[in-house]
Amino acid sequence: MTTITINEVGLRDGLQSLQRSMPTADKLRWIDAAYAAGIRHMEVASFVPARLLPQMADADAVVAHALTYPGLQVSVLAPNLRGAENALASGAHRIIAPISVSAAHSQANVRRSPQQMVEEFARMCDLRNSAGRPEVIMVAGMSTAFGCTRQGEVPLSDLCDLTRLVLEAGCDQVSLGDTTGYATPGQVAETVDAVRLIAGDTLHAAHFHDTRGLALVNSLVAVQHGIRELDASLAGLGGCPFAPGASGNTVTEDLVFMLHGSGFATGIDLPALIASRTVLETGLPGETLYGYIARAGLPTHAPLA
């Protein structure tokens, strides 16, 4: 049975989109509950100035707590060299750089053109190497890979060209991001296949938003075309603050249910994962939580792991 890695991104991508901050103690309880449910990959923080994202002001403490768990791969986002310095100092295992294919989104998100961001990413990779930390995985998170609310269509050729550049810059993994929820199943198949010809097994992951209700089917198509890691957020928290209308990450619980029912393994205890939503109810009272499985319940015959 093929195993699909689920990377829980709610602690970073989910929380950064909210207008309030989750208390640090509740973030730590979220990590505890996710680990207990079998999640072994988490993106837990973003190393950006607290004045820009106060939700991430406790990044060091959150990473430190996550690192206490054996076998847990801890990922963080770093948008620039300074962020990468802090990420390396934190001890995180994987650093994700947001590299927008859309020029308009790139300017709004990191105030650089896509080409300038690739140059910054190359400096981040060099920093990792010069620090003697070859075990740290550098990920090119290809944002707006399927379209952009600011720019509109994002040509596949632009994505392919930028993929070649990030590979030359030294990236270890490529992740395709449907930042605005524009992707359709046919587009996912075409895009994954095209980027695979360039990146090979370096094309590792995909990140979908459920803005138009297609996150689950897009995820299934992605794994059918060789993607082996999917980002998702507990209760569907999340959305890029620099991509208007980009609401809702893939719901982790629904994704796990679909994958188990489709013959894939995740290593996740689904009832325990659903139960972990109580951490959000406590830490983010009144926040809208999404998810079909949590609302409808598991079928009596459903595979649980």
Q: In this predicted model, what pLDDT tens digit does every residue of 126-164 receive, in sequence order?
A: 999 999 999 999 999 999 999 988 888 889 999 999 999
* Per-residue pLDDT tens over the stretch 221-230: 999 999 999 9
In CATH terms, the fold of domain 5-296 is TIM Barrel (3.20.20)
Mean pLDDT of all residues belonging to the chain: 94
- Percent of the chain at pLDDT > 70 equals 96
Query: What is the pLDDT confidence band of residue 57, given thresholds at 50, 70 and 90?
Result: very high
End-to-end CA, the chain: 12
Of 150 and 184, which is predicted with more confidence? 184
Predicted structure pTM score: 0.94
Q: What is the DSSP letter of 176?
A: E
List Cα–Cα distances, 72 to 22, 30, 94, 99, in angstroms: 22, 14, 11, 25
Per-residue burial over 39-58, b if 16 or more Cβ lie within 10 Å, else e, is bbbbbbbbbbeeeebebbbb
- Residue positions annotated with a catalytic role: 240
305 — pLDDT class (breaks 50, 70, 90):
low
- Return the pLDDT at 230: 99
Say if residues 288 and 247 touch (Cβ distance below 8 Å): no
- Rounded CA-CA distance 219/203 in Å is 15
Q: Which of 267, 183, 174 is nearest to 221 (CA)?
A: 183
CA–CA dist 230, 259 (Å, integer): 11
Query: How far is it, in rounded angstroms, from Cα 163 to Cα 271?
Result: 38
Contact 164, 115 (CB under 8 A): no
Q: Is 173 left (phi over 0), alpha (psi -120 to 50) or beta?
A: beta
Q: What pLDDT, in 10s, does the model give residues 59-83?
A: 999 999 999 999 999 999 999 999 9
Q: Is the predicted pLDDT of residue 46 greater than 90, yes or no?
A: yes
Cβ(13)–Cβ(242) under 8 Å? Answer: no
- Is residue 244 scored above 60 in pLDDT? no
**What pLDDT is attached to residue 171?**
97
CB-facing half-sphere around the CA of 276: CA atoms within 13 A: 27
pLDDT at 56 over 70: yes
Position 300 confidence tier, pLDDT thresholds 50, 70, 90: confident
Contacts of 271 (CB under 8 A, 6+ apart): 298, 304
In the chain, where are the structural domains located?
A: 5-296
